Amino acid sequence: MTNAMADDLADYMSDNELVVEPKLPKLDESFGCTVVISNLPKVPQAKHEKLKSVLLKICNKVGTVDLQDEVAPLMPFGEDGKSHGFLFITFKTSADAAKCEEAVNGYQFDKNHKINVVKYDEVKKLKTIPDTYEEESASPYEPSPDTSWWLRDPSQRDAFCIRYGNETEVHWADGSREPVLDHDGGDKKASGVQWCNYYMEWSSKGSIMATILPAKGVITWGGPSYKKLKRFSHVDVETVQFSPGEGYMMTTSFKNDTKDAIKIWNTKTGKLLRSFPLFPSESFKEKDAEKPPPFLWSYNDEYIARMGEDLISIYELPSMKLLEKKSLLAGGIAEFQWSPAQNILAYWAPEKGNAPAHIQLVEIPSRKHLRQKNLFQVSKVNMSWHDQGKFLGCKVLRHTKTKKTVYNNFEIFRVHEDGIPVEILEIKDAVFNFRWEPQGTRFAMVHAENRAATRANVSFYDMNKEVTHTERRGPKGSKKQVTVTQTVSELNLVSTLKDRQCNSLYWSPAGNIIVMASLGDTSSGSLEFFDVNTCTTMAVREHYRATEVSWDPSGRILSTSVVQPLTGGYFKFQMDNGYMLWSFQGKQLKTVAFQNFFQFAWRPRKNLLSAEKREEIKANLKKYYEEFDRRDKEKARALYLEETRGKRELRSKFRDRVEVLRAGYDANREQRKQMNDGYDSEDENNYIIQTANVETVLKTDEFLVESF
């Protein structure tokens, strides 16, 4: 090779050193096929072979042992020849090793030895764990968001959440001004997080907002910026329910009936307390596969209970252990309800054999039977507690002996009175709806001659009656008589409204006002706002095709909405989606339409004032009224200034422009005058102002005047 040739080739030569490295097969250093069998008897050298052969026999039953180990498995021993009590066995495949681990682990080798089988790789991992424990540094304290901030809203507004399209928004409303957006999840959207793609749920006192993401579970949010509080993992979750005190929550998946279809959680810590299958027993499932019996919370977060067959299982919170380790026996139970104000259970059972149908009140945890009422010829009982637990109303659907005709009667328990007396009210008509007045003693019901009737009657009853009688007062012998008004416990009819288009009743949370609505497919969506104290209809309105009606917690605003279900029935409810807000007098405040509207939910707010305090406020209403009025005006003013700022700018800009144009026009005045032959139409002197008086005779009267 000449130098010249080398130069020619120089360009093709690499400057790097030539590395000669043959492609060798890579040594597999993993021990996936090897298991460690430990907790063996420690045997002297003489017995080594015996032990090995026994173990090989066992191992060969579950898989194929590697040929080499077949002959001599590795069993380490000490200087004295005694084995250490463990041995290595390698299988042909890692699958066999896994099988061995599963099958042989826990095998009772002899009286004293239960053998352990662990994969060698697992054992190796143990080596990496440091011998000394190092304390983990505590993560810095992060205050959890203040979940009661909204209660301190200076404008005393109530909030509601709406779900439409892909949006979830919280708005403020106070019944006099436009609802104001509080939060729309913008921060979540910006960070690429979908914070709700199913329904949302407020906690019972409104502190927390829970959103359902069926693919993942439930997330709770709180604080002024709706920060994520906790995550509750539950695949295919459909509903979430909070306990009345918000301490606990329950998530349910109806889709797959596994052993953890229902999960009970601690709301604050996010800890799973216990999970349950959908049905308490297999036989229950067959009986009524459609609706599993619900878990119900007691009023003060102490218990949660579910009915089973002839029993009610009551669990204590937070341990979720069965109360006194045994269920409450309730023969033939069909349904139960907790009192909303006391730990009292009410349940009813239909007739069974010789036993009559009965309604039972049981006190918990004493399990004392407070009251039992036997009934005959019962088809169904609907129980409804008064919101303060004062009364329990039971609508009893009864049938005649032939079971051909049915009729209703009401059994009303006065729970707070001695001996719990029961009032009976007979109603011939079919009763559709029965509602207690919140914080009152009245109830209302919708009834009609037959179920198919398009027009119904609405009746109001009072559990108390005002009775007046005259009484002698003062010292003995005095004839001074005084009229005394007394409230006595006596069920009485207040009034009946005839011929109403109504199938649902919605009492205001403040009592007295009731909205009678006709909802559903065949109804017009009429709404009648009725004042029960004075028995006057304040307004009759309509929200066409309305599907839902709800009051805000204060009873100031009523919302009506047309929502479509998030699953199924899509086409049926596609039209007229949206919501309307009304004042409690029936004045329309707001109408909002959406293409797809799914949910409207007021943020619950518990009244924290005692009954006495409320009375006091009512007495001094005037004082408060002025104060609130003044603040309202101030707020309106501030809002107004805010809104008008943009308009002011527009206006001044426009006026400037007009001013410029006007100046241009005035500049041409002389020219214009010439064009009009010297006549200046701008000159006011060209106009003569004349005042004309016109007299019109309106009336002429003739009368005689007496002459003097």
Instruction: Number of residues interacting with other proteins: please give it, by CB under 8 A.
Output: 23
Strand partners, 628: none
Beta strands in 140-280 (DSSP E): 158-164, 167-173, 180-183, 200-202, 209-213, 217-222, 227-233, 239-242, 248-252, 262-266, 272-276
- Taking CB under 8 A as the binding criterion, the range among 91-99, 207-215, 228-236, 652-660 that sits at the site for other proteins is 652-660
Q: Is 657 in the site for other proteins (CB under 8 A)?
A: yes
Residue 424 phi/psi, 5° resolution? -120, 135
Of 488 and 658, which CB lies nearer to other proteins in the complex structure? Answer: 658
Which of 50, 614, 623, 645 forms a contact with other proteins (CB under 8 A)?
A: 645
Gyration radius of the chain over CA positions: 41
Closest to 375 (Cα-Cα) out of 337, 328, 413:
413
Which of 5, 658, 698, 704 forms a contact with other proteins (CB under 8 A)?
A: 658
- Taking CB under 8 A as the binding criterion, the range among 287-295, 386-394, 440-448, 641-649 that sits at the site for other proteins is 641-649
- Taking CB under 8 A as the binding criterion, the range among 55-63, 249-257, 555-563, 653-661 that sits at the site for other proteins is 653-661
- Taking CB under 8 A as the binding criterion, the range among 102-110, 252-260, 655-663, 692-700 that sits at the site for other proteins is 655-663
> Minimum distance from CB of 660 to other proteins (Å)?
9
Q: Is 644 in the site for other proteins (CB under 8 A)?
A: yes
> Minimum distance from CB of 663 to other proteins (Å)?
10
Of 454 and 676, which CB lies nearer to other proteins in the complex structure? Answer: 676
Cα 389 from Cα 545, distance rounded (Å)? 34
> Minimum distance from CB of 639 to other proteins (Å)?
12
Of 387 and 576, which CB lies nearer to other proteins in the complex structure? Answer: 576
Of 139 and 671, which CB lies nearer to other proteins in the complex structure? Answer: 671
Of 180 and 675, which CB lies nearer to other proteins in the complex structure? Answer: 675
> Minimum distance from CB of 641 to other proteins (Å)?
6
Which of 490, 570, 650, 656 forms a contact with other proteins (CB under 8 A)?
A: 650
Which tokens sit at 11? 């360009």
> Minimum distance from CB of 638 to other proteins (Å)?
9
Q: Is 648 in the site for other proteins (CB under 8 A)?
A: yes
Q: Is 486 in the site for other proteins (CB under 8 A)?
A: no
Of 114 and 648, which CB lies nearer to other proteins in the complex structure? Answer: 648
> Minimum distance from CB of 637 to other proteins (Å)?
6
Cα 411 from Cα 660, distance rounded (Å)? 83
> Minimum distance from CB of 162 to other proteins (Å)?
26
How far CA 478 is from CA of 470, 481, 485, 647, 691, in Å, comes to 14, 9, 21, 76, 83
Q: 255 near 235, Cβ under 8 Å?
A: no
Q: Is 544 in the site for other proteins (CB under 8 A)?
A: no
Sign of CA dihedral 483, 484, 489, 491: positive
Beta strands in 184-325 (DSSP E): 200-202, 209-213, 217-222, 227-233, 239-242, 248-252, 262-266, 272-276, 295-297, 303-308, 311-316, 321-322
Containing 70, the helix (H) or strand (E) segment is helix 67-71
Cα 510 from Cα 556, distance rounded (Å)? 9
Of 114 and 645, which CB lies nearer to other proteins in the complex structure? Answer: 645
Q: Is 654 in the site for other proteins (CB under 8 A)?
A: yes
> Minimum distance from CB of 548 to other proteins (Å)?
28
Of 310 and 666, which CB lies nearer to other proteins in the complex structure? Answer: 666
Of 366 and 686, which CB lies nearer to other proteins in the complex structure? Answer: 686
Of 615 and 649, which CB lies nearer to other proteins in the complex structure? Answer: 649
Closest to 315 (Cα-Cα) out of 328, 334, 329:
328
Which of 647, 691, 701, 706 forms a contact with other proteins (CB under 8 A)?
A: 647
> Minimum distance from CB of 392 to other proteins (Å)?
51
Q: 162 near 182, Cβ under 8 Å?
A: no
Containing 433, the helix (H) or strand (E) segment is strand 430-436
Instruction: Give the chain's largest Cα–Cα span.
Output: 166
- Taking CB under 8 A as the binding criterion, the range among 61-69, 326-334, 609-617, 638-646 that sits at the site for other proteins is 638-646
Other C-beta atoms closer than 10 Å to the C-beta of 584 total 22
Q: Is 591 in the site for other proteins (CB under 8 A)?
A: no
> Minimum distance from CB of 302 to other proteins (Å)?
54
Interaction residues for other proteins, span 661-690 (CB under 8 A): 661-662, 664-665, 668, 671-672, 675-677, 679, 681
Q: Give the burial class of 294: count Cβ atoms within 10 A of its Cβ; 0-12 exposed, 13-18 middle, 19 or more buried.
A: middle
How far CA 376 is from CA of 329, 365, 393, 487, in Å, comes to 21, 29, 17, 33
Q: How far is CA 198 from the centre of its chain?
A: 12
Which tokens sit at 591? 């109408």
Q: Is 537 in the site for other proteins (CB under 8 A)?
A: no
Of 353 and 664, which CB lies nearer to other proteins in the complex structure? Answer: 664
Residue recorded with tokens 């596969």: 289
Of 627 and 643, which CB lies nearer to other proteins in the complex structure? Answer: 643
Cα 110 from Cα 115, distance rounded (Å)? 9
> Minimum distance from CB of 541 to other proteins (Å)?
19
Q: Is 617 in the site for other proteins (CB under 8 A)?
A: no
Q: 267 near 248, Cβ under 8 Å?
A: yes
Residue recorded with tokens 């919101």: 387
> Minimum distance from CB of 654 to other proteins (Å)?
5
Cα 105 from Cα 90, distance rounded (Å)? 15
Other C-beta atoms closer than 10 Å to the C-beta of 285 total 14
- Taking CB under 8 A as the binding criterion, the range among 428-436, 493-501, 544-552, 640-648 that sits at the site for other proteins is 640-648
Q: 546 near 525, Cβ under 8 Å?
A: yes
Interaction residues for other proteins, span 11-30 (CB under 8 A): none
> Minimum distance from CB of 647 to other proteins (Å)?
5
- Taking CB under 8 A as the binding criterion, the range among 121-129, 549-557, 613-621, 646-654 that sits at the site for other proteins is 646-654
> Minimum distance from CB of 591 to other proteins (Å)?
17
Which tokens sit at 248? 């606990």
- Residues in contact with other proteins by CB under 8 A are 637, 641, 644-645, 647-648, 650-651, 654, 657-658, 661-662, 664-665, 668, 671-672, 675-677, 679, 681
